[in-house]
């Protein structure tokens, strides 16, 4: 499984019959500024202490941040911890806003 997906793949996954968990690893102020509906906020610094209690190792987890760097690090860490279906959204919410949904504010 690839470590990254693009925003077109994210859009298709969210519209599927069994959508993935969309894990937003940005800070709360970023999430309040711009977010994708149905996403779950778990700031990057909290992932190690919350992942095993709140995430299902067998479920698809798509990780989102501002531009894709934090999400790539978190997806990599999750995969190393046994969350084999964790993937990062390349380009982050900024790219989502440019390509998929311009109503999501850019910052």
19 within some domain: yes
**In what helix (H) or strand (E) does residue 62 lie, and over which residues does it extend?**
strand 61-64
Count of domains forming the chain: 1
Active site residues: 65
Q: What is the share, in percent, of the chain residues with pLDDT greater than 90?
A: 99
27 three-state secondary structure: coil
Q: Which residues contact 106 (CB under 8 A, 6 or more apart)?
A: 34, 94, 97, 98
107 within some domain: no
Q: For 2-52, what is each residue's pLDDT tens digit?
A: 999 999 999 999 999 999 999 999 999 999 999 999 999 999 999 999 999
Q: For 43-89, what is each residue's pLDDT tens digit?
A: 999 999 999 999 999 999 999 999 999 999 999 999 999 999 999 99
Of 60, 56, 102, 55, the closest CA to residue 85 belongs to 60
| Domain with 51 in it | 4-99
In this structure, are residues 74 and 23 in contact, taking their beta carbons and an 8 Å threshold? yes
CATH number for the domain spanning 68: value is 3.40.250.10
50 within some domain: yes
104 within some domain: no
89 within some domain: yes
Phi, psi of 16 (to 5 degrees): -75, 170
User: Which residue bears the tokens 């990599």?
Assistant: 76
24 within some domain: yes
Q: Which residues contact 39 (CB under 8 A, 6 or more apart)?
A: 22, 23, 24, 31, 64
């Amino acid at each position: 499984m690839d470590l990254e997906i693009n925003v077109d793949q994210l859009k298709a996954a969210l519209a599927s019959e069994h959508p993935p968990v969309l894990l937003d690893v940005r800070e709360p102020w970023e999430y309040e500024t711009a977010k994708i509906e149905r996403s779950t906020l778990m700031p990057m610094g909290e992932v190690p202490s919350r992942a095993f209690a709140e995430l299902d190792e067998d479920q698809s987890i798509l990780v989102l941040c501002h531009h894709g760097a934090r999400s790539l690090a978190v997806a990599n860490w999750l995969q190393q911890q046994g969350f084999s279906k964790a993937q990062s959204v390349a380009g982050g919410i900024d790219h989502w806003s440019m390509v998929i949904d311009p109503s999501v504010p850019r910052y």
